[in-house]
Amino acid sequence: MKDLNMETNLLYDSSTFSRNRNKKYKNWHKKIYSNTYNSTDYNNINTPLNYLCCDFYSSNNKSLIGNPMAVQEIRLNPRPAGLINKKNDCFFNSVMQCILSLHPLTSFYDSNVFNDNQKFSKSFQDFIRIYKSKSVVNPSDLINVLGRKIFILDSNQQDCHEFLTLFFLHLYIELNGKVNDLISSLSEFDKKKQENFIARTFFGLQKSIVICGMCNQKKEKIEHFSCLTLKLENSIYESMKSYEKEEILSGDNAWKCDFCGKKNKTTKLMQIVEYPKILIIQLVRFYSHTNKDSRKIDVDGILQFKNTKYKIVGYACHSGTVRNGHYVSFGSRNGEWFYFDDEHYKKQESIKLNETDAYVLFYIAL
């Protein structure tokens, strides 16, 4: 694959899976932000990926929270700055550089007015404004505020995708979001997109289908997603194809049919019904606390799915082992690429996208 000279943001993360998790959030990253390809219990098909949906409004002011469409008129793509790493913060820094390259998100938070109860949002807004004015930024104030609820911000190495999940989750909850909102139809999905900026920007809609091998009856479930978790293939495009590929489930993984009551060989399908404006992809690289799949993958600069075409705007990579690694990132700011490694950053004439250690990727619809 040729070098791609386009707007991109690459994050490398050197964290390991967090240990000693708070039980309250133990499995949220699995339910909330990713849709795993591994069907270990398809009898739970009725449990949708619905925890991130929320309503943006404010009864105390006339901010853009009450009119999220207005933020689409504003585009903030801040110039690059480094982020100080005080202790094992590279997972945070790499994700944050990627987030700061997502102009719809940074524009929304920079332009809104938040009340005193929205501490995460206000701190994130303050951080964005400081970032715009300096060449090197100390993120400690933001980390301290986020750390009150994001338990993995404990000065240990962590997984960048898990932090990303919890970061968005708590922003949503803080903005009067409903943790258990259910989007199970196209009409509900359209309504939610009209009501809320995050749903309109990050949510897609997918259909899960299981077909009983005994009676041939099928069960369908529509659910929204905010991130796709994909098998590691040779390229992102191949990983996406694998995601929607027919899969045969048997043994303990088979679905117990609601119609005949039998648990037999089952055919499983996943179909993307509607793609989000910003597509986030996590590649399965880590297995338990000790194993990592370090194979290289080609990152497709452009992805085309049905009527939706995407451009890569960022991806995170992890180098090293599960217990001893490092995250860095490449990000695009106003059409120029920059390499970020904590407080250090450097302009890149082009980004080589073949044979990468990509872990989390960000695509924006054209």
Residue 303 has a pLDDT of: 93
Domains of the chain, earliest start first: 10-365 (3.90.70.10)
pLDDT the model gives residue 342: 94
Residue 252: HSE in the Cβ half-sphere, 13 Å Cα cutoff: 3
Q: How confident is the model at residue 15 (pLDDT cuts 50, 70, 90)?
A: very low
Taking CB atoms within 8 Å and a gap of at least 24, the contacts of 36-41 are 36/229, 36/284, 37/229, 37/230, 37/231, 37/242, 37/243, 37/284, 39/247, 39/249, 39/253, 39/268, 40/252, 40/253, 41/253
- pLDDT at position 68, please? 39
At residue 107, does pLDDT exceed 50? Answer: yes
Between 352 and 326, residue with greater pLDDT: 326
Q: What is the average pLDDT across 57-79?
A: 49
The half-sphere exposure of 259 on its side-chain side, counting CA atoms within 13 A, is 12
CA distances from 44 to 251, 256, 269 (A): 16, 10, 15
Residue tagged 């970032």 (tokens): 131
Q: What is the pLDDT of residue 21?
A: 43
Which residue type sits at 304? Q
| pLDDT in the model for residue 233 | 94
Q: Are 311 and 364 in contact (CB under 8 A)?
A: yes
**What Cα–Cα distance (Å) separates residue 334 from each residue in 9, 10, 71, 100, 239?**
11, 15, 18, 12, 29
Residue 73 confidence (pLDDT): 46
Q: What is the pLDDT at residue 90? A: 94
Q: What is the DSSP letter of 298?
A: B
> Rounded to whole angstroms, how far apart are CA atoms 272 and 250?
24
Lowest mean pLDDT among 23-32, 82-91, 172-181, 199-208: 23-32
Mean pLDDT value across residues 98-114? 91
pLDDT of residue 36: 34
Q: With 90 as the cut, is the pLDDT of residue 45 above it?
A: no
Q: Which two tokens stand for residue 316?
A: 């995170």
Helix (H) or strand (E) segment spanning residue 362: strand 358-365
